[in-house]
A and B are shown apart, each in its own frame.
Chain A
């Protein structure tokens, strides 16, 4: 397995910073020796990374963990994109069905039940994802990760070495804004689906904070 030194990764990031997302994904595929994949959860804007990825390699495997708790709209969106983009979809499902889990453990744990949520994530998301990565064994893992989604997570960049799976993680849209992705979707007439919720994502943005000015106004009112 190729060893990616920090220096190499830094050089790649510097080099790719000025390249288009399409050139970045082409570069990623070229590194992969035929073993690249893209992972998705069909959340808002995922149509962009899936469209981009299949431009570079039409039969690129698409790893999707279907934890069983998606909104119906998300499943319809997944079907629509799979058909339209002719995705080589590789769904990985938990070893226990949603109905079975619900019958034994009740409703999806809320954010107040950290331990419950962690267990939910482990069984319904992480285990199938790990199984998928082990079976598909990619050398390059393409994602839709963007800086705006996780501003507090430093150390991420277009390219990073993923130690968990021993793959090179490449995020072609890393520096793109929502507006830039809106443009991409419009240019390629791709659908977007906002009706989406992932109960197991502890760090997902569930709200938008208003400006400091608002806060001051509310305090002084």
Chain B
């Protein structure tokens, strides 16, 4: 895990989303999910490439099921982009880096 991607919990989630000065991409994941492991390095790269324009955070749904339920997460990875504290985009599933970057860059 790079220092650019924080792990959020039920306690830290709301304040992290509302206090952010840039859009925030939340990666809902679990340790047993293969596609989540495949997208993790892509998110690390994007966190570095979009540093300062986008904040990327992770929520382990095994440990924080409340947040996952609240946002209707039914499959993982689900990546939700928050802008100004509100949901701007929801992306589900592994995808090529170029596709993910394009979707995210449209908002930053």
Contacts from A to B (Cβ < 8 Å): 44, 71, 73, 107-108, 110, 178, 194-197, 199, 205-210, 214-215, 217-218, 221
Are A206 and B69 in touch, CB under 8 angstroms? no
> Are the CB atoms of A208 and B68 closer together than 8 Å?
no
Given A205-B34, A207-B92, A210-B76: A107 and B98 interface contact (C-beta under 8 Å): yes
A206 contacts which of B65, B74, B93, B98 (Cβ < 8 Å)?
B93
Q: Decide if B38 touches A210 in the complex (CB within 8 Å).
A: no
B37 at the interface (CB under 8 A from A): yes
Of residues 40 through 56 on chain B, the ones whose CB sits less than 8 Å from some CB of chain A are: 40-42
Chain B residues bordering chain A, tally (CB within 8 A): 31
Secondary structure of the A contact surface, majority rule = loop
CB-CB nearest in chain B for A216? B69
Tell whether, in the assembled complex, residue B38 and residue A207 are in contact, meaning their CB atoms are under 8 Å apart.
no
With A195-B38, A195-B41, A197-B38 known to touch, is A206 a contact of B94 (CB < 8 Å)? yes
- In the complex, the answer to whether B73 meets A218 with C-beta atoms within 8 Å is yes
Report the minimum CB–CB distance from B63 to chain A (whole Å): 14
Please indicate which of the listed interface residues A178, A196, A207 has the most CB atoms of chain B within 10 Å of its own CB. A207
List chain B residues, Cβ under 8 A from A215.
74
| Cβ-defined contact, A207 with B73, below 8 A | no
**In the complex, are the beta carbons of A207 and B35 less than 8 A apart?**
yes
A84 CA to B101 CA, complexed, in Å? 35
A112 → B minimal CB distance (Å): 10
Residues of A within 8 A of B34 (CB): 44, 178, 194, 205, 208
Nearest-CB distance from B14 to chain A (Å)? 16
CB contacts (< 8 Å) of B74 on chain A: these are 209-210, 214-215, 218
Cα distance A195–B97 in the bound complex, in angstroms: 11
Indicate whether A208 sits within 8 Å of B35 (C-beta atoms), given known contacts A195-B41, A197-B94: yes
B36 interface contact, C-beta 8 A: yes
CA distance A207 to B33 in the complex (A): 8
Q: Which of A108, A178, A195, A207 touches B96 (beta carbons < 8 Å)?
A: A108
Contacts of B38 in A (CB 8 A): 44, 194-197
Is A207 touching B41 in the complex (CB atoms < 8 A)? no
Contacts of B70 in A (CB 8 A): 221
* CB pair A221 B69 closer than 8 Å: yes
Min CB gap B36→A, angstroms? 7
**Contacts of B88 on A, CB cut-off 8 Å?**
none
Partner of A208, one of B40, B76, B97: B76
Q: Is B106 positioned at the interface, with any CB of A under 8 Å from its CB?
A: no
The interface residues of chain B lying within 8 Å CB-to-CB of A108 are: 96, 98-99
